Structure formats: C-alpha cells, structure tokens
Amino acid sequence: MNFPPYWARGESGNFFCWRWSTQSLADAQALAVQAARQLADRFRAGDRLLNHGGYYPDRPFREPVLEEIKDASGGVAAVVTRNAYGCQILNTARVMFVDIDLPEPKPAGLFKRLFGGSGSAQGLTLEDALAKVAAWTRNQPGWGWRIYRTRAGLRLLATHALMDADSPATDAVFTALGTDPLYHRLCRAQKCFRARLTPKPWRCGIRQKPPRWPWPDAKIEKWFQKWDAQYQSFAAGWATCEFLSAMGNPEVHPEIAPVLRRHDAATRIAAKLKLA
C-alpha cells in the first residue's frame, strides 16, 4: 500500500501537475513544479498529451489516511482512506476482496409487458455468479469466502489466508471468478485490495462533489466539512452491502478477523437498508 502524506500542485503556464512525497510538503511542491514544467515543454515540442481520465494505475492514490487497522504483530494490515468523491475506502495489504460486477435490471418494454418475456439485462445474473463461485470453491477446498451483495454486483472477502494483490495466484482467482477488469488492474498496480465502506453520495441524493484533498486553504476545508456533515446525515439511511452467505472453509485467519469486523460494521451488512 502506498498513500503518501504530502501532496502539492505545481503550475507552469496553463499546465499543472500533482506530485507526492513521503518526506515533506516542500519536496512534493518541488516535484510538482518540475513535472508541470516538463509537461509544458513536451507540449511546446509538439508532443501529444493524452488524457487518462483520472485513472493512473502507476501512481499512488491522492487520498488522506483516516484510520490504520493493525494486525496481531502491530503492523498495518489495512488503512481507511477517503476517495475523490467523499467515500471511505478500506485498503488492505493482503486481505483479498473480489469485485464482480452484474448488469442492473432494465424495465421491460411495452411489447414484453403485454406478451411476456423478461425485462432483465442480458449477461451474468446474481444466481449465475453465485453458482460460479460455488463451483470454483468446490475445486479449491481450502478456500473460504464471505459473500456480499452490493448495489452493482457481488463482493467476496477471502477469509482463509492472506494473499498478495500483485501475485499470479491472485490474477488466477480474479480471472476465474470474473472480477471487474478495472479493479483487477488497479489491485495489481497499487499492490493492495480495495473495498468501499460508505455509500456513493449521488445514490443518497447528494449531487454536489466535495472539494478534493488536500485543500488549498481553511475556507475550502470548511466547505468540505459542511459537505461531509451532510453526506454523513444522508448516508445514515443506506447500507453499502448486504451479507449473503459464507462459503467453503469456515476458519477465519486471525490477521483477517479485525479487517472483516471493520468492514462489516462500516458497510452495515445487517441493517436491512437499501444499498447505495
């Protein structure tokens, strides 16, 4: 896991870059200014600058660390961060989360309502996905899972053993179970697994995006605090995922247990609320 505590924005003409440091804010600022100048030089030299759409798998996440979760030896097993749209994210060094997307059902058209037929989206259904996980687990008797329903699919938490996010074994599991490709790439590049703990703001009725950390001044930070208070209030009426079942090996690795407890409490798995 790599969450640098210092971030700064550097500018050169119309170009800007964010850079990070584990040493100091001044170090991050110097690196950011240098990167912005290099970007401007490339543009003037005729280089075509590509827009990556905000996804940079080769760079750390620009997210503040809100909490550290320790393992039995006192090391950091996981950290909770806040992402760009205000959600709390559980990041784990070796506790595997698997993210499986499912198509959202679409309402049936008039013809199908009159003459029959399903209005569900084509593709993998929840039942199909669960059957696939069950079949795979029967052939891997040492594996154990906790399985959750999310708004957009399934979330699996491996409970039997620790895994490395960038290992061939993890790649094989992700491929076999049909993990979301973007999540797969992200885990490998960042060498950590991620699971969203709190609801997505727009699903709770909040449309305004929060100012992104780090905030440039106290005024913007106060604006974020006001946004976050509203978000916490709205999110109280929603859950992030629902526990469906445990599957396979029932034993829970002792270093996974505290991460599991933190995940289940934060996502409100037993609250019987709508998922967001």
- Are 201 and 108 within one domain? yes
Residue 112 in this model has a pLDDT that exceeds 80: no
- Are 238 and 185 within one domain? yes
- Of the three residues 9, 27, 50, the one that is the final residue of a domain is 50
- Are 27 and 100 within one domain? no
In the chain, beta strands by DSSP E: 6-12, 15-21, 65-70, 76-82, 88-92, 97-101, 144-150, 153-158, 193-196, 241-248
- Are 131 and 2 within one domain? no
Q: What integer is the mean pLDDT of 25-44?
A: 94
- Are 213 and 106 within one domain? yes
- Of the three residues 26, 50, 74, the one that is the final residue of a domain is 50
Q: Give the span between the Cα atoms of 222 and 219, in whole angstroms.
A: 5
Q: Give the span between the Cα atoms of 95 and 165, in whole angstroms.
A: 9
Number of neighbouring beta carbons within 10 Å of residue 190: 20
Q: What's the pLDDT score for residue 75?
A: 83
Residue 191 neighbours by CB under 8 Å, 6+ apart: 1, 2, 93, 164, 165, 166
Number of domains into which the chain is organized: 2
Q: What's the pLDDT score for residue 108?
A: 44
Residue 111 in this model has a pLDDT that exceeds 50: no
Residue 149 in this model has a pLDDT that exceeds 70: yes
pTM of the model: 0.88
- Are 226 and 170 within one domain? yes
Residue 198 in this model has a pLDDT that exceeds 70: yes
Q: What's the pLDDT score for residue 57?
A: 67
The answer to whether residue 276 sits within a structural domain is: no
- Judged by average pLDDT, the poorest of 59-73, 79-93, 150-164 is 59-73
**Alpha-helix residue ranges (DSSP H) falling in 45-180:** 110-115, 126-138, 168-177
The answer to whether residue 255 sits within a structural domain is: yes
- Judged by average pLDDT, the poorest of 64-78, 86-100, 102-116, 163-177 is 102-116
Q: Give the span between the Cα atoms of 92 and 196, in whole angstroms.
A: 12
The answer to whether residue 115 sits within a structural domain is: yes
- Are 95 and 127 within one domain? yes
Residue found under tokens 């795979």: 136
Rg (CA), the chain: 21
- Are 91 and 192 within one domain? yes
Q: What's the pLDDT score for residue 118?
A: 37
Q: What's the pLDDT score for residue 55?
A: 57
Is there a contact between 195 and 87 (Cβ–Cβ < 8 Å)? no
Q: What integer is the mean pLDDT of 162-185?
A: 95
The answer to whether residue 272 sits within a structural domain is: no
pLDDT band at 66 (very low <50, low <70, confident <90, very high): very high
Domain residue limits at 27: 1-50
The answer to whether residue 56 sits within a structural domain is: no
Report the mean per-residue pLDDT for the chain.
90
- Are 141 and 69 within one domain? yes
- Are 32 and 6 within one domain? yes
Structure tokens, 213 = 């950390």
